[in-house]
């Protein structure tokens, strides 16, 4: 269940990242992308790790 929620968060983050990338101009895109990536990294670090290494969920 937790991995399903994590995968959903990651896919939602990727969608938001692509949407924002399309909606910004090239001049401001890099700083906005950095902000989005930093936000996604902090929010989804555990989910990303669970997707890359499902056995980490069993360690708890």
pLDDT in tens, 2-58: 555 566 666 676 677 766 666 555 555 567 777 777 777 776 666 666 676 666 555
| Domain enclosing residue 9, as ranges | 2-51
Structure confidence at residue 54 (pLDDT): 61
In a domain, 23, yes or no: yes
HSE of 34, CA atoms in CB hemisphere, 13 A:
3
In a domain, 31, yes or no: yes
Rounded to the nearest 5°, which phi and psi values hold at 53?
-140, 80
**CA–CA gap between residue 4 and residue 13 (Å, rounded):** 14
Match 């990727």 to its residue by tokens: 14
**CA–CA gap between residue 43 and residue 47 (Å, rounded):** 8
Q: How many domains does the chain have?
A: 1
In a domain, 56, yes or no: no
Which pTM value belongs to this model?
0.29
In a domain, 59, yes or no: no
In a domain, 57, yes or no: no
Structure confidence at residue 26 (pLDDT): 55
**CA–CA gap between residue 4 and residue 20 (Å, rounded):** 24
């Amino acid at each position: 269940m937790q991995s399903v929620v994590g995968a959903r968060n990651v896919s939602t983050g990727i969608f938001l990242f692509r949407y924002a990338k399309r909606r910004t101009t090239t001049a401001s895109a890099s700083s906005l992308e950095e902000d989005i990536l930093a936000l996604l990294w902090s929010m989804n670090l555990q989910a990303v790790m669970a997707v890359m290494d499902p056995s980490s969920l069993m360690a708890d």
